[in-house]
Structure 1
Amino acid sequence: MSGASGAPRARKPAPRSLSCLADLGGGSSPEPGPRRPPGSAGCAPRLRPIILRRARSLPSSPERRPPGAGGQGAGCRPGCSRQLRVRFADALGLELTQVKVFSAGDDPAVPLHVRSRLAMDADLCCRGPDPQFTLRCLVPDFAPPVEAADFAERLRRQRVCLERVTCSDLGVSGAVRVLNLAFEKQVSVRYTFSGWRSAHEAAARWRGPAGVQGAEDVFAFGFPVPPFLLGLGSRVHFALCYRVAGAEYWDNHDGRDYSLTCRQHALHLPRGECEESWIHFI
């Protein structure tokens, strides 16, 4: 403060850096070195390089977020939240809708057992207490060979003989018995859907020994049946081949071939069981 009221106030000198004071001789310099003259560039603040840091990326979309990440970021403190970004498909150049055109050839083929159960449920409203249904399936044209009286004699003569055969929606399966002539042996079934104009062959698998002291072996075979062969009157023929010790033996039902024919099969079911058949479609 000045003594006179109208006199201007004296402005305090601006503080100088330590380097400037050292240059003026007002004190000892903390770092030894040549003195700079007053008013030189040494009084200016020392320049430091500017460090550029890369900005953090924006929050990723929910589908690209690592598993286990919640609404808060990895470095977020409790109580803070990070805003989520919502991106639509059209903003990314994607289509909003997808159109699928089906043709008549794309219709699924309904299995026979499904159609049969649907027919059962449809007939429940117009049938009596004990409804009778008809199923279309393959039926063997021969009796089970294993039940014949001359089965053992045929096996000794042919070395290979069919035991029994079973037909279902999955195809045809059966069992074959052969004489144990050697350790290495092959059993296969040759079948046709066109009266032997074309044929297919499937290998049978060993199921276990049979007979006295393992003198015989049992093989199991199976092959699929196409759905278009389930028309009435369609027939499937097959024969069995046994290869062992460089020889080949056949069982073709004494030259007539084993045959299966598609026929109507009557089925009697209690009404209570039919009413609960809908549960198979859940």
Structure 2
Amino acid sequence: MFSALLAVFLATTGAKATQLYPLSLDLKGEGQLIVVFIHGNGSNASAWSNIEPQIRSMGVQTVVYDRVILDPHPMWEGGYAVEHEAKDLIAALSNLTEAAPIILVAHSYGGYIASLLAEELELVQGIVFVDAGIPQDMSAELVSFVLAEYTPRFEALEKAAPELAKTVIPIIKAYPATAQRMGSVTIPQHLPVIDIVAEASWVKDEKVVAQMHKAHADFTAASPTRTSVFAKGSGHNVMQDKPEYVIEAIKRMVEQVRDK
């Protein structure tokens, strides 16, 4: 989830880029469906650069953006919260989509944001999780692992990449609150979901990994509209390691939503 912790966020632009504080959304393509790509922590919109053009060629619109936290933000005066990110994206999409059906493609921490959107927006007609977080995997053990693993790195990150530190450190510090919020999130059971799980986890604690795998297995087993895909040979960044899994899953989801 933080494998690219020292990366630099890149700005995305495009012919139809729409500025909405604090998000810059890059909307491309034509079609009746919109596929929204949500990257994980320590990454940026370029994570989807080898995926998005192939999906757009299917005759859909695509939205990519950088999850940049700008300070001060009138909604975030009390500090970072995952729900604030979701609300910003919901507001931005409401200005772009014109009631078009939405498919969310979410990697890593982006899965928690996607889960909030799926609970809130009826326009969300499908989700592809790419080794992503889901509400059920945000356990106390996972929170403890993240805080213990990454808190000691704050000082080095602030020195090496101060702008990135401003975006990543608040997210890590907020993990206990994020876990609490995820505990009340319910992804509708009728919603089609493809849950891609990588062979190699970003978590290095075997007990936590086992709990996460069980959470994902239980999640997909809870509804016939949910499918699990095992990305054999892939690490956490499936879109780079094994992009064929991601492309195939999105294509399947697009076809399924179109056939409704």
TM-score, length of structure 2 as denominator length? 0.20
Query: Which structure has greater strand proportion?
Result: 1
Query: Which structure has greater helix proportion?
Result: 2
TM-score, length of structure 1 as denominator length? 0.19
**Based on CA coordinates, which of the two structures has the bigger radius of gyration?**
1
